[in-house]
């Protein structure tokens, strides 16, 4: 084989190989049915776990009854959005946060102090998606795993709180220490944080 033919063959080989490497990217962003009704991702518990809180509330301290069992809240975000945040300190379009509410208990097995998570009692979502008028939407799932966006006074209170009290965009990054550090490094924290 002459040198010219061999060079041509070597140059063409990667082109043929690359053609076979085309992959279909699976989106982990929001999926909707009937327009804007969010479908609960079946695998959200395999997403990035951002953090957990116990007994967190928006109510003033004097309004909280200490005798009521405290709820755990667990927050998950889709992996591609987590990667985007780690790179930029901002949440990309099509970010999905799932907020899971679980009862707590303190009396089981050998436990003598502290609390642990028990049954699921609620699921909510916050989605950053340019398809919505202000780029964000909030959802409260029922048993069927599909939720329309919240509207009216309910969503107005969500927007107000998520605008006034969050560290990055409309997200409570201040409660996730590793993300808070990323936002500091990237300079994306709101003034006051």
Quickly state the pLDDT bin for 69 (edges 50, 70, 90).
Answer: confident
Task: Quote the mean pLDDT of the chain.
Answer: 86
User: Would the pTM of this model clear 0.75, i.e. be above it?
Assistant: yes
Considering the chain, what percentage of its residues have pLDDT values greater than 90?
68
DSSP letters of the chain?
A: --HHHHHHHHHHHHHHHHHTT--PPPP-S--EETTTEEEPPTTGGGSEEEEEEES--SS-GGGS-TTSPPPEEEEEE-HHHHHHHHHHSSPPTTEEEEEEEEEEE--STT--SS-EEEEEEEEEEEEE-TTSTTSEEEEE--TTSEEPBP-HHHHHHHHHHHHHS-SBTTB-GGG-HHHHHHHHHHT-PPTT-
Average pLDDT over residues 14-23: 41
Average pLDDT over residues 155-159: 92
Fold of 29-150: Chalcone isomerase (3.50.70)
Per residue in 94-128, pLDDT (tens digit) is 999 999 999 998 888 888 888 889 999 999 999 99
């Amino acid at each position: 084989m002459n040198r010219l033919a061999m060079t041509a063959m070597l140059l063409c080989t990667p082109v043929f190989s690359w053609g076979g490497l085309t992959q279909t990217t699976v989106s982990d962003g929001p999926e909707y049915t009937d327009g804007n009704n969010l479908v609960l991702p079946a695998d959200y518990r395999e997403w990035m776990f951002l953090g957990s809180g116990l007994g967190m509330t928006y109510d003033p301290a004097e309004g909280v009854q200490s005798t009521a069992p405290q709820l755990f809240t667990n927050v998950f975000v889709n992996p591609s959005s987590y990667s985007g945040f780690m790179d930029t300190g901002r949440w990309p379009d099509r970010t999905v946060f799932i907020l899971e509410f679980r009862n707590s208990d303190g009396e089981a097995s050998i436990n003598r102090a502290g609390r642990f998570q028990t049954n699921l009692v609620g699921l909510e979502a916050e989605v950053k998606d340019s398809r919505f008028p202000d780029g964000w939407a909030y959802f409260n799932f029922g048993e069927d795993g599909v939720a329309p966006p919240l509207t009216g006074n309910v969503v107005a209170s969500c927007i107000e709180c998520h605008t006034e009290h969050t560290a990055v965009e409309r997200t409570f990054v201040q409660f996730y220490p590793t993300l808070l550090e990323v936002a500091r490094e990237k300079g994306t924290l709101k003034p006051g944080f």
